[in-house]
């Protein structure tokens, strides 16, 4: 059984993370906005192919790989193997053929004594660079009106599924004041997804994308995607496409995608942005990767086609003027659309969604009232005011509102706890809120005053 192996030897600090962290850093910290050549080189550096017994133990394989790398040292304290994609440590006594498939990429780590002292920061999350394009991320801010743009493609459209990954920076830059683009793929299932991607992408790029955890999802088949796409007025023979929806009407605008070539995609985006008057935003991949160190990150509770259904069903209660602007943007796109563009009528008004979501179909007053009823203490009342400031801020971006609101709901549990350790954690949670609130200039001073009062109590 052949396995691809990267062997790392170092002290505990140098062995943190995996190839994906190094690839993501190389990708986002270069002279160009993103550098796929550099990231691919890093992900494939020092790669070995090791022939091993599938009936042997993982521990024996790890020692075999260390010896094959010519990096074995007398001062090695311990040796272990990790799945390079998931980052999970593999038990030494596990049978290789039961936990790994032929061709899997494995990181073998050999720890040696440390000769230095370190102040270690949280590791970034490489997957966050692509995860923000998933429909579940769009769902987080669905309460704020947008012209939503969903890429709908199936397993047959591997070129488009690859494009949205290798051009993630361009797609994120296109999500401006009025437009929000996202992709719709199956919920994460690496065991299933890796079989699909291995047949679609060349090994060097495959390793870079896989170790950054950008391949944990894969496209739906036609029937699976159509279950939701039909509510947007999209027929199966119209896949792959970009469908725009939102505003006060159920009309949808379908742009069939005939080619995933970068030039063709840029022409499509130029048409849409020119119509709605949006400019690409200043998207900075290096800053996004740096911000992914945030320990408050949570996995979305609704994903895949279910998240698309929730997004389509979300009534935009927040701002009627904003809704009108979205409808005007949609009308502008209709007016410049070429003969190949399809204007359809969805069933969005008839959709309902009852699954767990964040701030979907809930007016701000209701959100705050629910919070006050749940946390009736004095501290709860003060944090309810912070929540109100956050949700009504004119300066905070929608994603920042959701992030800060989550921090508030996390902090109140610590503040109200009688447990001494949790009360200690409350100080750090409140400090995080104060720092994050500086993103909204119109609320920063008021939030700082409330938080400092709470920290002094």
pLDDT band for position 56 (50/70/90)? very high
Q: What is the CATH number of the domain that holds 32?
A: 3.10.20.90
Residues 250 and 286 in one domain: yes
Considering the domain boundaries, does residue 318 fall inside one? yes
How many Cβ atoms are within 10 Å of 19's Cβ, its own excluded?
27
pLDDT higher than threshold 50 for residue 317: no
Residues 181 and 306 in one domain: yes
Residues 18 and 84 in one domain: yes
Residues 368 and 332 in one domain: no
pLDDT at 409: 81
Considering the domain boundaries, does residue 245 fall inside one? yes
Residues 154 and 272 in one domain: yes
Range of the domain at 401: 364-456
pLDDT at 374: 83
Which residue among 79, 111, 143 closes a domain? 111
pLDDT at 350: 64
pLDDT at 428: 84
Residues 230 and 307 in one domain: yes
Considering the domain boundaries, does residue 209 fall inside one? no
Model confidence, pTM: 0.81
Residues 322 and 403 in one domain: no
The tokens describing 290, both together, are: 């740096």
Structural domains counted in the chain: 3
Q: Rounded to an integer, what is the distance from CA 68 to the centroid of its chain? A: 37
pLDDT at 163: 96
Q: Which residues contact 151 (CB under 8 A, 6 or more apart)?
A: 160, 164, 181, 182, 183, 184, 240, 241, 242
Residues 260 and 327 in one domain: yes
Averaged pLDDT for residues 394-422: 80
Residues 144 and 250 in one domain: yes
Residues 276 and 169 in one domain: yes
pLDDT band for position 336 (50/70/90)? confident
Q: Which residue has the higher pLDDT, 55 or 397?
A: 55
DSSP, collapsed to helix, strand or coil, labels residue 217 as: coil
pLDDT tens-place string over residues 351-393: 555 555 555 555 677 778 878 888 888 888 999 999 889 888 8
Q: Are 146 and 327 in contact (CB under 8 A)?
A: no
What is the C-alpha separation between 282 and 285, in angstroms, rounded?
Answer: 10
Averaged pLDDT for residues 291-295: 69
Q: Are 198 and 103 in contact (CB under 8 A)?
A: yes
Residues 267 and 309 in one domain: yes
């Amino acid at each position: 059984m052949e396995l691809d192996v990267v062997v790392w030897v170092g002290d505990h600090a140098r062995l943190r993370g995996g190839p994906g962290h190094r690839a993501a850093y190389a990708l986002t910290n270069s002279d160009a906005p993103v550098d796929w050549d550099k990231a691919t080189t890093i992900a494939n550096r020092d790669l070995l192919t090791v022939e091993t017994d599938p009936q042997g133990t993982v521990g024996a394989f790890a020692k075999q790989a260390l010896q094959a790398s010519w990096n074995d040292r007398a001062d090695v304290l311990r040796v272990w193997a990790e799945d390079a994609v998931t980052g999970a440590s593999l038990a030494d006594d596990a049978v290789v053929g039961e936990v790994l498939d032929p061709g899997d990429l494995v990181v073998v780590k050999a720890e040696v004594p440390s000769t230095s002292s370190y102040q270690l920061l949280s590791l970034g999350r490489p997957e966050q660079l692509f995860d923000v394009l998933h429909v579940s991320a769009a769902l987080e801010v669905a309460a704020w009106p947008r012209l939503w743009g969903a890429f709908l493609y199936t397993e047959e459209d591997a070129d488009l599924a690859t494009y949205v990954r290798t051009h993630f920076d361009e797609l994120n830059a296109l999500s401006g004041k009025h437009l929000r683009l996202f992709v719709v793929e199956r919920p994460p299932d690496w065991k299933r997804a890796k079989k699909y991607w291995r047949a679609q992408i060349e090994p060097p790029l495959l390793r870079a994308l896989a170790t950054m955890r950008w391949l944990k999802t894969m496209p739906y088949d036609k029937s699976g995607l159509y279950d939701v796409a039909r509510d947007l007025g999209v027929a199966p023979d119209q896949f792959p496409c970009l469908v725009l929806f939102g505003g006060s009407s159920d009309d949808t605008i379908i742009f069939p995608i005939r080619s995933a070539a970068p030039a063709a995609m840029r022409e499509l985006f130029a048409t849409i942005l020119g119509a709605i008057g949006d400019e690409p935003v200043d998207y900075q991949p290096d800053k996004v990767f740096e911000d992914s160190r945030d320990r408050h990150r949570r996995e979305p509770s609704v994903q895949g086609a279910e998240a698309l259904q929730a997004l389509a069903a979300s009534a935009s209660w927040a701002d009627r003027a904003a809704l009108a602007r979205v409808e005007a943007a949609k009308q502008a796109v209709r007016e410049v659309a070429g003969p190949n563009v399809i204007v359809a009528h969805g069933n969005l008004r008839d959709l309902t969604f009852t699954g767990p979501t964040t701030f979907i179909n809930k007016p701000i007053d209701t959100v705050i009232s629910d919070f006050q009823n749940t946390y009736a203490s004095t501290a709860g009342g003060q944090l309810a005011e912070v929540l109100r400031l956050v949700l009504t801020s004119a300066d905070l971006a929608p994603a920042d509102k959701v992030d800060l609101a989550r921090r508030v709901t996390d902090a109140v549990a610590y503040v109200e706890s009688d447990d001494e350790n949790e009360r200690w954690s409350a100080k750090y949670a409140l400090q995080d809120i104060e720092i994050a609130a500086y993103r909204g200039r119109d609320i920063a001073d008021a939030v700082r005053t409330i938080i400092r009062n709470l920290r002094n109590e």
